Structure 1
Amino acid sequence: MPHPTKLPHRGQAPLKVLLLCTADQGGGAAEACRRLLDALGAIGVEARLLVLHKGTDDARIDSVARTPLGRLWGRLAFVGERLEIYLRNGRDRSRLFRVSTARLGFDLSEHPWVREADVLHLHWINQGLLSLTALRRLSKLGKPIFSTLHDLWAATGICHLPLEFSPEGSSLCPRYEAGCGLCPLLGGKKQEDLSRSVWRQKAFLAEPPFSYIAVSRSEALLFERSPLMRSYGAPSVLPNPIDLGLFSPETATGMPMPDWWQEGRIYLTLVAARLDDDVKGPHLLMAIARELQDRYPELASRITLVLVGAIRREGYFDELALPYVALGSVRDHRQLAHIYSLSRALLSTSIYETFGQTLVEALAVGTPVVSFRCGGPEDIIDDGTNGFLVPAFETATYADRLAQLLTTEAKAGEAFSPEACRRSAERFGAEAVARKLYERYQASLTTPSSRS
């Protein structure tokens, strides 16, 4: 892989960018943010990252809660917000983390890294990092503020995704386009409820200096439908970055074979922060496994599922019709790339995805992918070339496409081949994404009132 070419600065000091994210590990937003930190640094931008929860020893990353008092406040902010939501939603724990109010957080307007930065770039900042009051104070510093939409929270009252989920799929919440109120996640009993009051408090987020970046076209369309963002208009679209050097066909070279691997087995992999999260469609996975068993018994007899991620509901996958190995969370990216390389396909059974980062990771390694049409994956998968996009949520069709993929001989450079998959992932490369983002940063500094 060639080394990234640094941007010419013509004698000027490098652009200083400060990324803000609740954590530097765990979850897609944290992974994407840290990859962007690396990518910006590689092209000559002086990038740093402020977090609440720091899990690495990277000197470019600092925690706002380094002191005992800071850690206490971070904990109180988290617990205090969750408690209010719990009391307002009818004491329903199942919906506790589908919403955030940003009532409490850290005032970072005087933080030295904030003061030194030319540009601020928000990622996922909920659950104790930034409050709405803190965001308003940052907006008055005279600096451009970019926000990557890892979810739709900035455009809603309190929910992270304005969708209603059921075993049959997802549908747009009818309250989203009505300015919230009567929130179904709160029981929906009052027009002037918590969602409506927070929605009103967010009005300033639609004005300069905020600029929004959607990670997929599907997400951008949802953002535009928000009455809160009507004065803002359409966000730009820029995908999450991928390290094409790390996630590559060569990554697995020299790595030992895992103890679960057996010659002659067909491995299909799923990766998620939490595999039994209803939004990830675990019930759809169960149905697909049954379809494979019923429709393609000989093929199914050779398949093993590799489940990567947390499983909180004990015994949830005990009735899975196919054998599986549960590896838990895998934080070592080389190990994850190796798992992809040992897999005949990466599967996504999600009901909705804003992007689909694991799909790009697998493609970059050379592994085809299969997903329902559910948002972000539609920007990633070229149906019939690097995998399949299955109509939502046709589990029998999903099984048919899997069988087709597994029984098709992938000729070099043609459909489903490692070369075709790798080629389709190159547009998501970290350097390309960082350069496009750098252009947006520069434009915002030249014309601060415009939205790049």
Structure 2
Amino acid sequence: MKVLHLSTYHQSGGAAIAASRLNQALNRAGLSSEMLVSETRMDEPTVTSLAQTTWQKRWATARFALDRLTFLPFERSRDVRFAFSPALIGTDISQHLLVQQADILHLHWTTFGFLSTRSLSTLFALQKPVVWTMHDMWSFTGGCHHSGSCEGYQHQCGNCPFLRLPAPDDLSNSGWLRKQTAYQNARLTPVGCSQWLAKRARQSSLFGGLSVQSIPNPLDTKQFIPLPKAVARWELKLPDRKRFILFAAAKVSALGKGFSYFQKALHQLRQQLAQPEAVELLIFGGGDESLLQELPFTYHFLGSLKNPRQIMAAYSAADLFVIPSLEENLPNTIMESMACGTPVVGFEVGGIPEMIQHQQNGYLVQYRSVDDLARGMQWVLEQPEAVFSQLAANARNYVVANYDEIVIARRYIDLYGVITQG
């Protein structure tokens, strides 16, 4: 059995990282698995880039730009520029050798100029079994990646809150109609990375009649392991006798990552702690460091980390990881932190409640509550050493039991077997 994963990106963004990890896990489990991406900047034996030549790379960049330009006249504001994808721009890969050789096509995050809705139609027309791991809601909405409180996806979309001029027949409605046409007669099995996302897909008008599954993303728990805090802090040149709060995001300033809530909660936390000078911040990710200068604690900014050892050291050096995201599916960062024995404090949103067991491996915060976010950070910081050690052990054990790559690879292999026999 040959499986081909299709992803816009190779290692850029959470969805691409999750797809790449699954591809690696399946190969280690003995399955023939490969990955086809729009473009990549690093070599990996089972990953092929659609863009090989300089011209092809330029065309991939141009497709991305064209894809964004198609949405520009419709966007409500710049804040939603990357929150909606019409998927009018893409490329036909149905005759690509890897696609032709595959027994199963496994879709991941495919927008931003890689696959258009029409591209998807040509793939589905091959009548190969298709698994679609949903890393957000885009596959069953008229174009948004997360709908928030909008439930238009349960009908035919339209009157979209992301658009400058919402109307019953707006861009979201036409996007929904294009997907409805594309999905007709497709041998499609949607998979939600979280139970939360799978539930939403089952409620949708596009996927409601399909057998929607729920399988988490995998993590190599032999790669992400707890390092002794003294060792991790020495490697990162951090002071040893401090308590560290970690914040990490691909783009720190992204509105959905909730940095403003983190900032406000830190100001409250400083007032609540008996010894605030003992606490410092550890931050890694992309974005403008000037955002950090108003934080009320001393901070250490590590920038974007790519080296797995440095990422593991950052998680291990921290006493807790804070994820105040306003919209999430099943964050890789929570898995990584917990695998390194670091408890997590995060909002009760999306798939996060499936990961954080309240006061067992972290602290589950009331959604958008700055007060409870500060309370959660304080709760973890003030636990006695024995209780904190148990929190850390619970975090690690939960990831090993539920997200280890061996567990997840087996669940996908079983799914592949079912759909190829059907």
Change (3 A) 1:193 1:252: same
The structure 1 residue matched to 2:348, chosen from 344, 348, 373, is 373
Q: Tell me which residue corresponds to 2:162.
A: 185
In 2, the alpha carbon distance for the partners of 1:408 and 1:256 equals 21
Pairing 1:305–2:291 present: no
Change (3 A) 1:321 1:252: closer
What displacement does 1:410 show?
A: 4.0
Change (3 A) 1:116 1:253: farther
- Report matched runs for 1:342-357 at 5 Å: 342-357=317-332
Question: 1:299 corresponds to which letter in structure 2?
Answer: Q
What displacement does 1:30 show?
A: 1.1
Q: Tell me which residue corresponds to 1:196.
A: 173
Q: Tell me which residue corresponds to 2:28.
A: 42
Q: SS at the partner of 2:305?
A: coil
Pairing 1:219–2:197 present: yes
Q: SS at the partner of 1:185?
A: coil
Question: 1:438 corresponds to which letter in structure 2?
Answer: I
In 1, the alpha carbon distance for the partners of 2:237 and 2:12 equals 24
Q: SS at the partner of 2:386?
A: coil
Identity of aligned residues (%): 29
In 2, the alpha carbon distance for the partners of 1:362 and 1:231 equals 36
Pairing 1:396–2:371 present: yes
Change (3 A) 1:369 1:332: same
Listed one character per residue, the Cα deviations across residues 406-448 of structure 1 (whole Å, up to 9, x for unaligned) are 12124289631x322211111200111001000000111111x
**Is the 8 Å Cα contact of residues 70 and 86 (structure 2) preserved in structure 1?**
no
**Is the 8 Å Cα contact of residues 230 and 240 (structure 2) preserved in structure 1?**
no
Change (3 A) 1:413 1:407: closer
In 2, the alpha carbon distance for the partners of 1:362 and 1:390 equals 17
In 2, the alpha carbon distance for the partners of 1:251 and 1:26 equals 29
The structure 1 residue matched to 2:241, chosen from 264, 270, 274, is 264
Q: Tell me which residue corresponds to 1:169.
A: none
- Choose 117-126 or 298-307, whichever is displaced more: 298-307
Q: Tell me which residue corresponds to 2:93.
A: 108
- Choose 403-412 or 30-39, whichever is displaced more: 403-412
Question: 2:46 corresponds to which letter in structure 1?
Answer: R
- Choose 108-117 or 62-71, whichever is displaced more: 62-71
**Is the 8 Å Cα contact of residues 232 and 316 (structure 2) preserved in structure 1?**
no
- Choose 41-50 or 208-217, whichever is displaced more: 208-217
What displacement does 1:131 show?
A: 1.2
Listed one character per residue, the Cα deviations across residues 384-423 of structure 1 (whole Å, up to 9, x for unaligned) are 111111111222222222222112124289631x322211
Listed one character per residue, the Cα deviations across residues 147-204 of structure 1 (whole Å, up to 9, x for unaligned) are 11111100100111111xxxxxxxx115333422222211134321111111101013
Pairing 1:67–2:53 present: yes
Q: Tell me which residue corresponds to 2:19.
A: 33
- Choose 135-144 or 390-399, whichever is displaced more: 390-399
What displacement does 1:353 show?
A: 1.0
- Report matched runs for 1:32-181 at 5 Å: 32-89=18-75, 92-163=77-148, 172-181=149-158
Q: SS at the partner of 1:316?
A: helix
Listed one character per residue, the Cα deviations across residues 25-68 of structure 1 (whole Å, up to 9, x for unaligned) are 12101111111111000111111110012121112111111134
Which portions of structure 1, spanning 4 or more consecutive aligned residues, are displaced by more than 6 angstroms?
A: 251-256
What displacement does 1:108 show?
A: 0.9
Question: 1:238 corresponds to which letter in structure 2?
Answer: I
**Is the 8 Å Cα contact of residues 5 and 36 (structure 2) preserved in structure 1?**
yes
Change (3 A) 1:259 1:120: closer
In 1, the alpha carbon distance for the partners of 2:67 and 2:388 equals 52
What displacement does 1:252 show?
A: 8.3
In 2, the alpha carbon distance for the partners of 1:315 and 1:414 equals 35
Listed one character per residue, the Cα deviations across residues 223-266 of structure 1 (whole Å, up to 9, x for unaligned) are 2232222322x621111101101001259897782454002111
Question: Hey, which of these two has a bigger chunk of helix by percent?
Answer: 2
- Choose 201-210 or 323-332, whichever is displaced more: 201-210
**Is the 8 Å Cα contact of residues 256 and 327 (structure 2) preserved in structure 1?**
yes
**Is the 8 Å Cα contact of residues 16 and 46 (structure 1) preserved in structure 2?**
yes
Q: Tell me which residue corresponds to 1:238.
A: 215
Q: Tell me which residue corresponds to 1:315.
A: 290
State the TM-score, normalized to the length of structure 1: 0.88
In 1, the alpha carbon distance for the partners of 2:160 and 2:131 equals 28
Question: 1:86 corresponds to which letter in structure 2?
Answer: L
RMSD in angstroms over aligned alpha carbons?
2.0
Q: How many residues align?
A: 420
**Is the 8 Å Cα contact of residues 181 and 193 (structure 1) preserved in structure 2?**
yes
Q: Tell me which residue corresponds to 2:419.
A: 444
Q: SS at the partner of 2:73?
A: helix
The gaps in structure 1 that reach 5 residues or longer are 1-14, 164-171, 448-452
In 1, the alpha carbon distance for the partners of 2:385 and 2:138 equals 41
In 1, the alpha carbon distance for the partners of 2:18 and 2:318 equals 23
Listed one character per residue, the Cα deviations across residues 351-376 of structure 1 (whole Å, up to 9, x for unaligned) are 12101211111111111111110121
State the TM-score, normalized to the length of structure 2: 0.94
The structure 2 residue matched to 1:421, chosen from 390, 395, 398, is 395
**Is the 8 Å Cα contact of residues 234 and 240 (structure 2) preserved in structure 1?**
no
In 2, the alpha carbon distance for the partners of 1:288 and 1:391 equals 13
Q: SS at the partner of 1:272?
A: strand
In 1, the alpha carbon distance for the partners of 2:269 and 2:184 equals 47
